[in-house]
DNA sequence: CAGGATCCAGGGAGATACTG
DNA sequence: CAGTATCTCCCTGGATCCTG
């Protein structure tokens, strides 16, 4: 694989379906992946623990996402053959490196949340006059 | 609003549905947002231009995503009242700041694509060898 | 050319029941 | 406890047709 420079790729390939970016987008695309990586930020956790940490995730999605991450080599799954089966999940080396860009993204979101919210309100106000009291606010 | 430090947020709030992170994830969650921001990386572009740049995007998704970005104040839409209507899209200041974290993410994907692919193959080979083969080592 | 409106298929995602 | 297996619902997103 020819590793062209990041800049080049940004302007050329990524818009083509064969670009690596697409694959990663598929991964971080689903909301759960990022949240789960975040939940494993500081160490390992058991299945139930993750389920508690990542609020709103269903057992199905948690399993599914963890498997995906495991398949990608970002998460390591360790089964402890004890009486009540105990499974621990932790980020691999590769997974840990993913925290950096993810953190950048999160910091951005924290820093710009206000602007975004304001922009949304302004947009809605300017574009969507009173219909009813059906305003979707968050 | 409890503006805890980034680290704290990472371990606490984000897993709660009320965290700003969720909003951003909803935004970058869809594959098109990132690609479109990338397509506007170096300047403005017209609708058709974007449609060409971002391969695989449907007119509906392009419009939808652009509207979302516009609503969030990340993209500015300029209508030129000429004979054939001409609309130009460009990143706003806020949108430009988003390029940083996005670039980090992309660079990560480029850097780790190989590892991820290898991990996937290894996983698939070890866990789900296609039917037909009767080999059962390990 | 830019985009609104529709119809419709596919898969994401929840709830439930069962296993080891 | 840690999943697997279904069934189903619903939203996402594509394809198509139409308008300013």
Is the model's pLDDT at A104 over the cut of 60?
Answer: yes
Higher pLDDT pick, B103 / B20:
B103
The CATH number for A85's domain is 1.10.10.10
User: What does residue A129 show for φ and ψ, rounded to 5 degrees?
Assistant: -55, 165
By mean pLDDT, which of A9-18, A33-42, A70-79, A109-118 is the weakest?
A: A9-18
Of B92, B2, B6, the closest CA to residue B43 belongs to B92
| A16, closest residue in chain B (CA to CA) | B55
Q: Chain B, 81-110: which have a CB under 8 Å from a chain A CB?
A: 94, 97-98, 100-110
Of B16, B65, B11, B1, the closest CA to residue B38 belongs to B65
**A20: which chain B residues are within 8 Å (Cβ-Cβ)?**
109-110, 113
Q: What is the pLDDT of residue A17?
A: 52
Nucleotide lying nearest to B59, CA to C1' measure: C3
Of B58, B60, B59, B68, the closest CA to residue B33 belongs to B68
Task: State whether A106 and B10 contact (CB < 8 Å).
Answer: yes
pTM over 0.85: no
Task: State whether B28 and A23 contact (CB < 8 Å).
Answer: no
**A4 inside domain:** no
Mean pLDDT of chain A: 80
pLDDT digits (tens, 9 = 90+) for A1-19: 333 333 334 444 445 556 6
Chain B touched by A22 (CB under 8 Å) = yes
**A77 inside domain:** yes
**A92 inside domain:** yes
Confidence grade of residue A55 (pLDDT, cut at 50, 70, 90) = confident
Q: For testing the chain A interface, which of B119, B124, B128 should be mutated: the one with the most A CBs within 10 Å?
A: B119
Of A91, A32, A77, the closest CA to residue A56 belongs to A32
Is the model's pLDDT at B97 over the cut of 60?
Answer: yes
Is the model's pLDDT at B108 over the cut of 70?
Answer: yes
Bridge partner list, A89: A45, A77
pLDDT digits (tens, 9 = 90+) for B27-75: 777 788 988 999 999 999 999 999 999 988 999 999 999 999 999 999 9
Q: What is the pLDDT of residue B129?
A: 60
| A73, closest residue in chain B (CA to CA) | B119
Strand C contacts in A 94-123 (CB under 7 A):
none
* Number of compact structural domains in chain B: 1
C-alpha to C-alpha distance for A74 and A96, rounded to whole angstroms: 8
**A15 inside domain:** no
Rounded to an integer, the average pLDDT of B71-89 is 95
* Residue B62: domain span: 20-126
Q: For testing the chain A interface, which of B109, B114, B117 should be mutated: the one with the most A CBs within 10 Å?
A: B109
**A37 inside domain:** yes
Task: State whether B109 and A21 contact (CB < 8 Å).
Answer: yes
**A80 inside domain:** yes
Higher pLDDT pick, B54 / B90:
B90
**B131 inside domain:** no
Higher pLDDT pick, B6 / B59:
B59
**A138 inside domain:** no
């Amino acid at each position: 694989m020819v590793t062209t420079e990041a800049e080049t790729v940004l302007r050329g390939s990524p818009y083509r379906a064969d670009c690596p970016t697409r694959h990663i987008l598929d991964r971080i695309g689903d909301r759960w992946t990022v949240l789960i990586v975040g939940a494993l930020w500081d160490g390992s956790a058991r299945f139930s623990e993750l389920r508690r940490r990542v609020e709103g995730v269903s057992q199905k999605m948690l399993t599914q996402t963890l498997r995906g991450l495991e398949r990608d080599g970002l998460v390591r799954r360790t089964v402890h053959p004890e009486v009540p089966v105990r499974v621990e999940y932790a980020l691999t080396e590769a997974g840990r490196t993913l925290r950096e860009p993810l953190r950048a993204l999160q910091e951005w979101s924290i820093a710009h949340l206000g602007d975004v919210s304001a922009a949304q309100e302004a947009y809605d106000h300017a574009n969507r006059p009173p219909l009813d009291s059906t305003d979707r606010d968050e």
